[in-house]
Amino acid sequence: MPILRNRPTPLYPRPPDERRLARRPPADTLHDLNLDQVFASISAGADEYQFAEIFECPADDLEVVEHRHEVFRDLENDETLHVLRDFVVDAAAVRTRLAQKLYDDLQAHRWFLGTVLAHCRAVAAAGDGLAGAPVSSAGLCALRGRLAAYRQSTEFTELFDQATRLDKAFEELRFVVFTHAGKITVAAPGDEPDFAGSVLATFERFASVGSGERREEHRGTHQLDRVESAVLHLLSQLYPKLFTDAAEFHRNNAGFVPQWLQDDEREAAFFLQYVDFMQSLDAAGTHWVLPTLSRTDRTERVVAGCDVALARQLAKDHRRCVANDWQLTPPEQILAVSGPNQGGKTTTARMFGQLHYLASLGLPVPAVEARLFLPDAVYTHFERAESIETLAGKLEDELRRARSLLERATKDSVVIFNETFGSTSLADAYALGASVLRRVIDVGAIGVYVTFVDELTRLDEHVVSMMSTTDTSDDSVRTFKVVRKRADGKVHAAAIARRYHLTYQDIRQQVAS
């Protein structure tokens, strides 16, 4: 159907550039940000759609991102959400029927006929549903237009008419089965009384709930037993034209589901799976917002953002995720995060990367408010355990990976360094860290640098100091709140000293005693 080509789809405002589709995020990014776990969770139960291909294809195109935002806005309406969900469920049911392997050819032809009718009814229901739903996004409006054009096409009407005629003929088919001395005979009906209704009524009270399901499970879903198959083949001899027509219909229409419809089903399912995932995080108190994005304005502001992977884990136990804010106002480029261990520094770094990556997929992000720069890529540099296979020490490995990252990063990139150069001395960690930060600043990228070196947080005006905090009444208790403030590692050191009674006063008292 040429009239259906080159229109927007739910995911794309125009046919995507093959070169863009071939782009993939840096090798470590999804793993470092724990997004591989998140995407696996979203895709669970929908492996046939291969959502990984979508998740691994971020866009730096504002038109693509806004196109997807419009679809999400449409899905905020329950009626539209319900219609799209029915469309995906019905289309998936047709695919399931087509995948059913039947060993009896005659049964397979009749099964195929029913599948075609299910497809036609699903198309009609989806078309009517979208026609009545408050849809305004280009993606869903185009889907509605494709369904309407398809229903009016000769291809569809002839398919539906042929299937309807054959189905009616099968429904009107009547026959008599005689059994005698272990033999079965099938014949056209005569004047014999119809005992089927009375027999079924008589034995209905003896039927147990679920017995039919157990019988189907025992012999294999939808498969005929030997007697049923024998009756069917005898029946085909009695009505040869009808069964021949059904077989011919099957041969002529084997690939009846249009490719565009399969593609639209997959893309619609992608939106629905993400909506379901967002709802699953309600228990963690997660908020979602469609971010305001720019490719030129480097000002960033996030209110109550959270680590989506952490929220997923907490939601399982109905525990709330601690949310954090950040802001970058040019010439600020880098959030330098310091503070006590296990205080939320790495979580903040991951959140920063996650929000930018999800935003580049055109997805809602976990925050109350989000204004972000749309990057061309998100690069990560997280601590790695030493590997005997690399024949390199930990510091050497970190330097190699840092160099590779800095060579690839551009002025439009997001870079995240987490606990880098922790294996060396304080002086070397400062020197190496300062070199990395100045290179990032010169390139023009934005990002996060998690460090234990307080001096790096005061490097220059391009670096913003943020610090994980502790409880005001007990410095040993983490709040997991990361705030914009001057780094002060002595605060944490003093808290440890008090906890283990190693303050100056404690030591004096112990010596005196």
Per-block mean pLDDT, blocks of 10 residues, the chain (513 long): 66 84 84 96 95 94 97 98 98 95 94 97 97 97 97 97 96 87 84 73 71 48 85 92 97 96 97 97 95 97 97 94 96 95 92 98 98 97 71 82 95 95 88 96 97 93 93 78 84 60 76 77
Quote the CA–CA distance of 383 and 402 in Å, as a whole number.
11
Write down the number of H helices and E strands in the chain. Answer: 20, 12
Q: What is the pLDDT of residue 318?
A: 93
**CA 432 from centroid of its chain's CA atoms:** 38
The two structure tokens encoding residue 381: 């540099």
Place of tokens 């970058």: 328
Q: Which residues contact 462 (CB under 8 A, 6 or more apart)?
A: 331, 332, 333, 334, 437, 441
Q: What domains can you pick out in the chain, each with its CATH number?
A: 2-23+58-170+255-269 (no CATH), 174-238 (no CATH), 282-512 (3.40.50.300)
State the pairing for strand pair 369-373/292-294.
parallel
Cα→Cα distances 166→112, 130, 392, Å: 11, 29, 72
Residues facing 178 on adjacent strands: 185
The answer to whether the beta carbons of residues 402 and 381 sit under 8 Å apart is yes
Q: What is the pLDDT of residue 478?
A: 85
Q: What is the pLDDT of residue 490?
A: 61
CA atoms within 13 A on the CB side of 405: 27
Task: Classify 305 as helix, strand or coil.
Answer: strand
Cα→Cα distances 149→90, 116, 155, 324, Å: 19, 18, 11, 48
The answer to whether the beta carbons of residues 420 and 436 sit under 8 Å apart is yes
Q: What is the pLDDT of residue 2?
A: 44
How many CB atoms lie under 10 A from the CB of residue 196?
A: 9
Cα→Cα distances 381→149, 234, 399, 420, 493, Å: 50, 71, 10, 7, 27
Q: What is the pLDDT of residue 505?
A: 79
Residue in 175, 184, 170 with CA at minimum distance from that of residue 225: 184
The answer to whether the beta carbons of residues 455 and 430 sit under 8 Å apart is yes
pTM: 0.88
The answer to whether the beta carbons of residues 25 and 171 sit under 8 Å apart is no
* DSSP state for residue 365 in the 8-state scheme: B
